[in-house]
Amino acid sequence: MDKQRKHLTQQIIQAGQFLYRQGWSPATSSNYSTRLSAEQALLTVSGRHKGELTAEDVLVVDWQGQSLEEGKKPSAETLLHTQLYQWRAEIGAVLHTHSNDACVLSLLEQSTELRLHGYELQKAFTGYTTHESTLVVPIFANDQTIPRLATQVQQWLDTHPDCVGYLIRGHGLYTWGAQMSDALRHIEAFEALFACELKLRALRAV
């Protein structure tokens, strides 16, 4: 195993330990990836315990989502990762998680866009410099047919070059960054904002 792959594998393993410990990747859900080259990514194998990943639990895929390693099956949602690497050359890591708050907020929000406004923490996202901005997070209907879901996502990405993440209803969050550390910062910021949004909705209504 070459040095770069070893390094990126370690990043995925450590991201999994953190995200599992936070409760954002329960019950073998979630999948994570990093860009390996201009045409390949390193991705988690389907169905593994995300807090206990080993080097055996990642595999190389091409942009068509095909496994380049015999005997290893990539996540069913591989295309949702690879379309992001093709969308923007500066994306180096993609994280998909299944937190309770992301799940609940996506089911609760009736519109197809969650709009976050007035939070200082919006500044954690690359390109956002003030709480007076509005962070728009699209919500896609869940779909077990991933190519069809990827088409929906692609239409949004093509028309929203500043997109930093999206929700799938009743399912979870996709976010990304130039480095794994950026993708992790985005997850933390989204989870904090989702938690605040849920508390505010509960309390403003009473």
Q: Which residues are annotated as a binding site for Zn(2+)?
A: 96, 98
Q: Does 152 bind a second copy (CB under 8 A)?
A: no
Instruction: Tell me the C-alpha distance between 149 and 169, whole Å.
Output: 12
Q: Does 178 bind a second copy (CB under 8 A)?
A: no
Q: Does 177 bind a second copy (CB under 8 A)?
A: no
- Span interacting with a second copy, options 37-45, 146-154, 157-165, 195-203, rule CB under 8 A: 195-203
Binding characters for a second copy, 89-128, by CB under 8 A (x = yes): ---------x-xx-xx--xx---------xxxx--x----
User: Which lies closer to a second copy via its Cβ, residue 88 or residue 201?
Assistant: 201
Secondary structure, 3-state, 15-33:
HHHHHHHCCCCCCCCCEEE
User: Which lies closer to a second copy via its Cβ, residue 20 or residue 85?
Assistant: 20
Whether the Cβ atoms of residue 18 and residue 184 lie closer than 8 Å to each other: yes
- Report which of 94, 97, 96 is spatially closest to residue 35, judged by C-alpha positions: 94
- Report which of 204, 175, 123 is spatially closest to residue 15, judged by C-alpha positions: 175
Eight-class DSSP state of 160 = -
Instruction: Tell me the C-alpha distance between 164 and 26, whole Å.
Output: 23
User: Can you name the residues that pair with 176 across neighbouring β-strands?
Assistant: 94
Q: Which of 28, 46, 83, 154 binds a second copy (CB under 8 A)?
A: 28
First-to-last alpha carbon distance for the chain, in angstroms, is 57
User: Which lies closer to a second copy via its Cβ, residue 64 or residue 144?
Assistant: 144
How far is residue 205 CA from its own chain's centroid? 30
Q: Which of 168, 173, 180, 183 binds a second copy (CB under 8 A)?
A: 168
Q: Does 70 bind a second copy (CB under 8 A)?
A: no
State which of positions 29-58 bind a second copy (CB under 8 A): 29, 49
> Dihedral (C-alpha) 31, 32, 36, 38: value to the nearest 10 degrees?
80
**Which residues contact a second copy (rule: CB under 8 A)?**
23, 26-29, 49, 98, 100-101, 103-104, 107-108, 118-121, 124, 129-132, 142, 144, 168-172, 181, 185-186, 188-189, 191-192, 195-196, 198-206
